[in-house]
Structure 1
Amino acid sequence: MTMRKYSEVDVFSPTPYLGNPLAVVHDADGLTGDQMQRFAKWTNLAETTFLLQPTDPAADYRLRIFSATQEFPFAGHPTLGSAFAWLESGGVPKNNGTIVQECGAGLVTVRVENQRFAFAAPRLTRYGPVEESLVHRVAAALGVPWGHILDTSWLVNGPEWIGVRLSTAQEVLSLNPDPMDLGSLSIGVVGPHVPGHDIQFEVRAFLGGDPVWEDPVTGSLNAGLAQWMTDTGIADRHYVAAQGTAIGYQGRVHVAVGDGEIWVGGDVTSCIRGEVNL
């Protein structure tokens, strides 16, 4: 085993401990995938990431992303949190102000403005209507009448999200999913706040299991929702979404669409810095 730099950061909230936590292992070259997976299971956080030397000369670093049970080619809050941790530990981008991350989904650009980091959303690999029989199952799992669902779409960019649109933020906040009906589905639900509110949308993310696990703040889901809602004219090209409200968090996701890119951003704060024997 080797002592390696280790960080825990909070992503998507300007207030520490009210966003989504992330564990980051630095200088992880030499670790096997099995070792990474075992450590990610041990941290018991939504995701644990491992910073490695890039294999693509255009990248600043390479990233592997693990939940407690599997590896992901891409995930949003791990991308932002890892970029922050890499900079904080002395990383120097090849291009000033822009970080290029290599991961399973390819190269992902991250731009930095003070404490706020934003990634350029990767292309959706599955994007389109959800079959009607599955929409009925989703409605039952969420505990809402089928007719209350305004629209649905597959939003796959690594995680296989099903996006669901409801009429109001209050409907989103009132959801209490049934784990028996949700099964293995990953469902992201969005609804608008009343005009004039400082937050435009409320988002919740449910991942199937028993019990259902709700993610505090989800970058990959918000990236998919941003493309869907701006494509369909539901959202402006700049908006802020809240997530985690129903479970005691204060996640804030800042979305900006321009120059052919969807930028998904949020504040990142340092919580723990030290070493891990791994």
Structure 2
Amino acid sequence: MNTVAYVTVDVFTSERFVGNPLAVIPDARGLGSDAMQKIAAEFCYSETTFVLPPDNPDHTARVRIFTPTAEIPFAGHPNVGTAFVLGQRREIFGKPTGDRLTFEEDAGLVEVTLLRTAGAVTSASIRAPASLTIGEAIADELIARCVQIDPQSIRKTTHAPTFASVGLPFAFAELDSLGALGKARPNAAVFAEAAARHKEDKTGFSLFLYVRSAENPWHIRARMFAPLDNVTEDPATGSASAALGAYLTSLLPARDADVKIAIEQGVEMGRRSLIGVEVKKTAGTVNEVLLSGSSIHVMRGEIRI
């Protein structure tokens, strides 16, 4: 019987047992896709990562990301958490660990900067691997039925509900109050209807709801639901946060902008997370999206295969 080591961390937090949990297999050599999927289903976290030697020796590692039901091309909290785990090691597949890492992923190359406090890695910043893409609009009534809220609570002053992506697509809708956000309850049957109607989100239909105030529009409260991926609610969704930050920045009238955004998520679940997003727009085009957050170790052990 073979064994493989694992580590779990809580991501987008510096406090254990909050934030978004992640399982990392730091050396996944010898595991096939089927075994990876079974391990991800066993952990039943929103994602589990599997680290392999890179195809290009100039890069740090190849990172494969699995939800409990499928492999996905990119996600935020798995990259931040995986970088934190690997940053604790002196070397990665025989190469010394520096402060800059490059992960090969299906969505493209993910550039990582490790951030240290008193010499110890405490957080990481990643660059989104893909340019901002904006998809089709989504009907208010469909969004409302997905999460059982009043369609009138959907705010369209800035944008109508729509898809956006910087590596992984999400449906986005702004709500008019924290009260409306707190009432959201996913209906899996309606999510299945939405996925059938909108083929753009090939992983199902992942819905990111958010609220922001006029006084502080760049501090955002959010919730994310993906019941078709066995993720009833996610406490922190970095890829969605990055896409939302890029999309909102693209809508600003200024042709040049440098925006810093704080996204608070997971509050309703008792797993508060804080996600940092920095977006740069030059000559009318979003050309850089950085995602950052802290992590903390929780568990380590081995899996018998």
Within 5 Å, give how 1:87-126 maps onto structure 2.
87-91=87-91, 96-114=98-116, 115-124=122-131, 126=133
One-letter code of the match for 2:274?
A: R
SS at structure 1 position matched to 2:36 = helix
Matches of 1:187 and 1:194, distance apart in 2: 23
Matches of 1:211 and 1:61, distance apart in 2: 28
SS at structure 1 position matched to 2:85 = helix
Distance 1:272 1:137, change over 3 A: same
Q: What corresponds to 1:245 in structure 2?
A: 267
Distance 1:189 1:113, change over 3 A: same
One-letter code of the match for 2:291?
A: V
In the TM superposition, residue 158 of structure 1 has moved relative to its aligned partner by: 4.8
Q: In 2, are the aligned partners of 1:244 and 1:250 still within 8 Å (CA)?
A: yes
Q: What corresponds to 1:220 in structure 2?
A: 239
In the TM superposition, residue 258 of structure 1 has moved relative to its aligned partner by: 3.6
1:262 paired with 2:289, answer: yes
Q: What corresponds to 2:165 in structure 1?
A: 156
Deviations 1:139-164 (A, max 9, x none): 22233343432122212345431111
Q: In 2, are the aligned partners of 1:169 and 1:193 still within 8 Å (CA)?
A: no
Q: What corresponds to 2:57 in structure 1?
A: 57
One-letter code of the match for 2:146?
A: A
Q: What corresponds to 2:26 in structure 1?
A: 26
Say how many residue pairs are matched. 275
Q: Which among 168, 175, 185 is matched to residue 177 of structure 2?
A: 168
Deviations 1:215-273 (A, max 9, x none): 11111111111111111139970121100011111100011124831111111111112
One-letter code of the match for 1:179?
A: A
Distance 1:211 1:10, change over 3 A: closer
Within 5 Å, give how 1:61-72 maps onto structure 2.
61-72=61-72
Deviations 1:100-122 (A, max 9, x none): 11111121011122212121112
1:232 paired with 2:259, answer: no
Distance 1:135 1:194, change over 3 A: closer
In the TM superposition, residue 189 of structure 1 has moved relative to its aligned partner by: 0.8
Matches of 1:101 and 1:156, distance apart in 2: 19
One-letter code of the match for 2:292?
A: G
Matches of 2:289 and 2:166, distance apart in 1: 13
Identity value in percent:
30
How well do the aligned residues superpose, as a CA RMSD in angstroms?
A: 2.7
TM-score (norm 2): 0.81
Q: Which among 227, 232, 235 is matched to residue 208 of structure 1?
A: 227
SS at structure 2 position matched to 1:85 = helix
Deviations 1:162-205 (A, max 9, x none): 111123344323323333322242110111146369x8110110
In the TM superposition, residue 84 of structure 1 has moved relative to its aligned partner by: 1.1
Matches of 1:77 and 1:99, distance apart in 2: 16
One-letter code of the match for 1:30?
A: G
Matches of 1:106 and 1:249, distance apart in 2: 30
One-letter code of the match for 1:130?
A: A
Matches of 1:7 and 1:208, distance apart in 2: 25
1:13 paired with 2:35, answer: no
Q: In 2, are the aligned partners of 1:148 and 1:167 still within 8 Å (CA)?
A: yes
Q: Gaps spanning 5+ residues in structure 2: where?
A: 117-121, 196-204, 282-286
In the TM superposition, residue 28 of structure 1 has moved relative to its aligned partner by: 1.0
Q: In 2, are the aligned partners of 1:22 and 1:48 still within 8 Å (CA)?
A: yes
Q: What corresponds to 1:177 in structure 2?
A: 186
1:192 paired with 2:218, answer: no
1:274 paired with 2:301, answer: yes
TM-score (norm 1): 0.88
Matches of 1:159 and 1:196, distance apart in 2: 27
One-letter code of the match for 1:139?
A: A
